[in-house]
């Protein structure tokens, strides 16, 4: 497809600005009727609420669109510095309710939907959770984007548009059973396809050198197997401030749809082989990496994200700045959310040297001035390492650059600690052994100007333990950024009764300034306020109890202590320790040791990676213990245990307000 520009776009009437869209109930209702009847072709005989949800989404998206465009104009005209947030996960949840809240449309949309005999809450529940993330890392990324838009910061997210989420989890006889989570199985109103910004991603092949007209040696990555990265943009609205930032998600596609000659020859499978090979890169969030093929696909995903995103930013800069890279580092930053996108360090070097013609020193200066790395774990085994042979097969040009980065870096280490070969071995980007590995976290540290942990203690332990050698070399690079969650999603939206109670006392400034909650302190001794607060809590606990009953067929009484542990199922998350505590409590009840007992309802939720056998056994153990505890007449309502299947953001929006105790063991 040819995406040429208008020859005289300034004179084209279609490009003139339209008047702002109405946000009153009448305008919203009129637009809803238009989309429902005209765009979607439905009429009064249609009884499927899905189409009403689609029409409503388009109404809200239109209001986002005009603010989205104006935000982009404002950033371009100001010439401000941009941050590009690279993450393999964005655990966004549902978009409709969050967009309505941030646009301030709740009351008027409720009226508009009431006029056509529909309920906002019912329509919002139709939307599937976006299958773009799984755990805390992805939720941090989602909250981070929300906060940046609310603070009107020019931050753009970059991720992968996974066709399928990790999986839909069912529990059968106590075991986890995985089913495909095809969250994109229906139209997604919250994305705009932007094929004009597609990028070409290389795999395989080899490097060859040549001499340019100036006598400089230039490297070329040739005979590659190429894949297209097609961007889809998702709007990220700030809270009632007119700002809408962007999350750009990449979808993999073949450079050619299929081989017509093979198809005409009867080889129908072979004719689409390239298409299938390309599209598998963005097919599933977290493919099972217990096999060699799974590991290879995971590395392909990571490079695909890094290369597409860097090319996108660099190409835009080169076009707007007439190939002048002198100010690039002052105006751009790449934040690497954990080790997954750390290929970006070597890839930016490749693009600057091989594509833009810079020398090593200039390219490295730009790279180190633009890259920043967030670490999420203290566990050495969680720091990604990739076999050198796999890198050589998939990304040979990047491996050459990594070797050169390592050689120059180890020279620095040798100059700082002469003769300390053990330290050089520890700090090398290449871990030697029977199977040499590329240490991706070390690559991220060496190539970045900033390295942060996600809590004060975590950052301190990084400096004292895991990255001590690097901290001793570059203490100025290390800092802390404590994880936070957005109160828009996790209080204003998911806990509306508590939100209204707080706002009635101190106003709504707390929605953008959480410190305002300290103004509730004088109400601690106010009996009426405390009773209202407690009633809200009981209502939220009842809502959670209804969810547990519906999904687990287990009765939680709201008078009990709701003890919650919801997160990825993993040995280091220590769900097993929690189960042992439940067994201890059960033993106490059986021994009659219940003096002063507080009834407790324990809720687990979370997914185990498909190839993680021990984590799956922990799920089975939880469910086995639940069967024993919940069916023992001697226990009664003193202790209940449930495992909520298919943990997700929309479930957490019910769990969070109803929790009495959140277990972070």
DSSP codes, 104-138: T-HHHHHHHHHHTT--HHHHHTTSPPB-S--SHHH
pLDDT at 134: 85
Q: What is the pLDDT of residues 499-522, one digit of tens each?
A: 999 999 999 999 999 999 999 999
Q: Token pair for residue 231?
A: 């961007």
Q: Is the pLDDT of residue 628 over 80?
A: yes
Strands in 437-439's sheet, in edge-to-edge order, are 385-387, 437-439, 430-431
126 to 54, 112, 120, 183, 545: CA distances (angstroms): 9, 18, 10, 12, 21
Q: Is the pLDDT of residue 408 over 80?
A: yes
Measured distance CA(252)–CA(230) in Å, rounded? 6
Q: Is the pLDDT of residue 289 over 90?
A: no
Sequence-distant (≥ 6) Cβ neighbours of residue 312 within 8 angstroms: 158, 197, 199, 231, 248
Across 588-638, the runs of DSSP E, i.e. the strands, are 600-605
* Strand, helix or coil for residue 418: coil
Q: How many CA atoms lie within 13 A of 21 on its CB side?
A: 20
Band of pLDDT at residue 11, cut at 50, 70 and 90: low
Q: Is the pLDDT of residue 404 over 70?
A: yes
Q: Is the pLDDT of residue 259 over 70?
A: no
398 to 237, 302, 328: CA distances (angstroms): 36, 13, 22
Q: Residue 96 pairs with which residues in a beta bridge?
A: none
pLDDT at 632: 97
Q: What is the pLDDT of residues 145-168, one digit of tens each?
A: 999 999 999 999 999 999 999 899
Measured distance CA(53)–CA(123) in Å, rounded? 5
Band of pLDDT at residue 270, cut at 50, 70 and 90: low
Measured distance CA(662)–CA(136) in Å, rounded? 14
- CB 105, CB 32: distance < 8 Å: no
Q: Mean pLDDT over residues 218-244, rounded?
A: 96
pLDDT at 10: 56
Q: Mean pLDDT over residues 400-407, rounded?
A: 98
Q: Token pair for residue 198?
A: 């597609």
136 to 91, 246, 377, 638: CA distances (angstroms): 8, 21, 11, 31
Q: Is the pLDDT of residue 15 over 80?
A: no
pLDDT at 271: 54
pLDDT at 185: 86
- Average predicted confidence (pLDDT) for the chain: 93
Q: Mean pLDDT over residues 261-285, rounded?
A: 73
Give per-residue burial for 217-242: e unless 16+ CB within 10 Å, then b: eeeebeebeebbbbbbbbbbbbbbee
pLDDT at 186: 84
Give per-residue burial for 545-573: e unless 16+ CB within 10 Å, then b: bebbeebbebebebebebbbbbbbbbeeb
Q: Residue 200 pairs with which residues in a beta bridge?
A: 228
Q: Is the pLDDT of residue 258 over 60?
A: no
Which sign, positive or negative, has the C-alpha torsion 570, 571, 574, 575? positive
Q: Token pair for residue 602?
A: 């324990």
Percent of the chain exceeding pLDDT 90 equals 83
Q: Mean pLDDT over residues 366-380, rounded?
A: 93
Helices and strands, counts by H and E, the chain = 25, 21
Band of pLDDT at residue 377, cut at 50, 70 and 90: confident
Q: Look up tokens 């490295």; give the residue.
A: 364
- CB 332, CB 313: distance < 8 Å: yes
pLDDT at 293: 83
pLDDT at 262: 57
Across 261-402, the runs of DSSP E, i.e. the strands, are 332-337, 371-374, 385-387
Sequence-distant (≥ 6) Cβ neighbours of residue 110 within 8 angstroms: 120
Q: Mean pLDDT over residues 585-605, rounded?
A: 97
Measured distance CA(475)–CA(445) in Å, rounded? 12
Q: What is the pLDDT of residues 36-72, one digit of tens each?
A: 999 999 888 887 888 999 999 999 999 999 999 999 9
Q: Look up tokens 């019910």; give the residue.
A: 654
Band of pLDDT at residue 657, cut at 50, 70 and 90: very high
Of 34-38, 207-211, 220-224, 592-596, least confident by mean pLDDT is 207-211
Band of pLDDT at residue 13, cut at 50, 70 and 90: low
Determine how β-strand 225-237 pairs with β-strand 199-203: antiparallel
Q: Mean pLDDT over residues 358-362, rounded?
A: 96
Structural domains of the chain, with CATH: 9-80+103-128 (no CATH), 81-93+129-480 (3.40.50.2000), 526-662 (3.40.50.2000)
Give per-residue burial for 356-395: e unless 16+ CB within 10 Å, then b: bebeeeebbebbbebbbbbbbbbeeeebbbbbbebbeebb
* Strand, helix or coil for residue 646: coil
Measured distance CA(78)–CA(75) in Å, rounded? 5
272 to 254, 277, 278: CA distances (angstroms): 9, 9, 10
Q: Is the pLDDT of residue 455 over 90?
A: yes
């Amino acid at each position: 497809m040819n995406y040429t520009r208008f020859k005289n776009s300034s004179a084209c009437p279609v490009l003139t600005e339209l008047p702002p869209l109405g946000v009153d109930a009448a305008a919203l209702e009129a637009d809803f009727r238009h989309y429902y009847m005209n765009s979607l072709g439905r009429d009064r005989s249609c009884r499927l609420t899905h189409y009403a949800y689609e029409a409503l989404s388009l109404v809200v998206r239109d209001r986002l669109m005009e603010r989205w465009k104006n935000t982009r104009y404002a950033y371009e005209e100001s010439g401000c510095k941009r941050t590009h947030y690279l993450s393999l996960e964005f655990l966004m949840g549902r978009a409709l309710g969050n967009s309505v809240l941030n646009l301030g449309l709740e009351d008027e949309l409720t009226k508009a939907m009431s006029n056509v005999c529909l309920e906002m809450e019912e329509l919002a529940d139709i939307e599937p959770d976006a299958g773009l993330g799984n755990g805390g890392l992805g939720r941090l990324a989602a909250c981070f984007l929300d906060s940046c838009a609310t603070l009107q910061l020019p931050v753009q997210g970059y991720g992968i548009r996974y066709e399928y989420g990790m999986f839909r989890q069912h529990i059968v006889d106590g075991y986890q059973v995985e089913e495909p989570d095809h969250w994109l199985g229906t139209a997604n109103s919250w994305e705009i396809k932007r094929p004009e910004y597609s990028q070409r991603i290389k795999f395989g092949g080899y490097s060859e050198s040549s001499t340019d007209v100036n006598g400089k040696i230039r490297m070329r990555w040739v005979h590659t197997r190429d894949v297209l990265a097609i961007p889809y943009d998702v709007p990220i609205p700030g809270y009632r401030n007119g700002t809408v930032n962007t999350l750009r998600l990449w979808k993999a596609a073949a450079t050619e749809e299929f081989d017509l000659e093979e198809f005409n020859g009867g080889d129908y499978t072979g004719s689409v082989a390239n298409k299938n090979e390309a599209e598998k890169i963005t097919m599933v969030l977290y493919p099972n990496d217990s096999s060699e093929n799974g590991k290879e696909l995971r590395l392909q995903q990571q490079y695909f994200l890094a290369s597409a995103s860097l090319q996108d930013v660099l190409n835009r800069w080169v076009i707007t700045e007439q190939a002048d890279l002198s100010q690039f580092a002052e105006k751009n930053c790449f934040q690497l959310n954990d080790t997954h996108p750390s290929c970006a360090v070597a890839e930016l070097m490749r693009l600057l040297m091989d594509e833009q013609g810079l020398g090593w020193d200039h390219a490295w200066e730009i790279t180190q001035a633009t890259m920043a790395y967030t670490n999420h774990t203290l566990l050495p085994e969680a720091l990604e390492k990739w076999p050198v042979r796999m890198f050589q097969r998939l990304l040979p040009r990047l491996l050459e650059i990594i070797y050169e980065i390592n050689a120059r870096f180890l020279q620095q280490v040798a100059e700082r600690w002469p003769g300390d070969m053990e330290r050089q071995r520890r700090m090398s980007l290449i871990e030697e052994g029977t199977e040499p590995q590329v240490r991706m976290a070390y690559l991220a540290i060496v190539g970045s100007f900033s390295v942060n942990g996600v809590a004060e203690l975590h950052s301190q332990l990084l400096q004292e333990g895991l990255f001590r050698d690097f901290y001793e070399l570059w203490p100025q690079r290390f800092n802390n950024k404590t994880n936070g969650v957005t109160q828009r999603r996790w209080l204003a939206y998911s806990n509306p009764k508590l939100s209204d109670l707080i706002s009635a006392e101190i106003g709504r400034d707390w929605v953008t300034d959480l410190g305002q909650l300290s103004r509730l302190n004088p109400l601690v001794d106010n009996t009426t306020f405390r009773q209202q607060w407690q009633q809200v809590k009981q209502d939220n606990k009842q809502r959670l109890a209804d969810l547990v009953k519906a999904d687990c067929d287990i009765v939680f009484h709201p008078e009990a202590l709701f003890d919650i542990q919801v997160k990825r199922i993993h040995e280091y998350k220590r769900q097993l320790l929690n189960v042992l505590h439940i067994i201890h409590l059960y033993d106490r009840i059986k021994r009659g040791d219940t003096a002063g007992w507080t009834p407790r309802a324990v809720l687990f939720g979370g997914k185990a990676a498909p190839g993680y056998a021990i984590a799956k056994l922990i799920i089975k153990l939880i469910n086995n213990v639940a069967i024993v505890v919940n069916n023992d007449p001697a226990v009664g309502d003193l202790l209940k245990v449930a495992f909520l299947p298919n943990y997700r953001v929309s479930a957490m929006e019910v769990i969070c307000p109803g929790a009495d105790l959140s277990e972070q063991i």
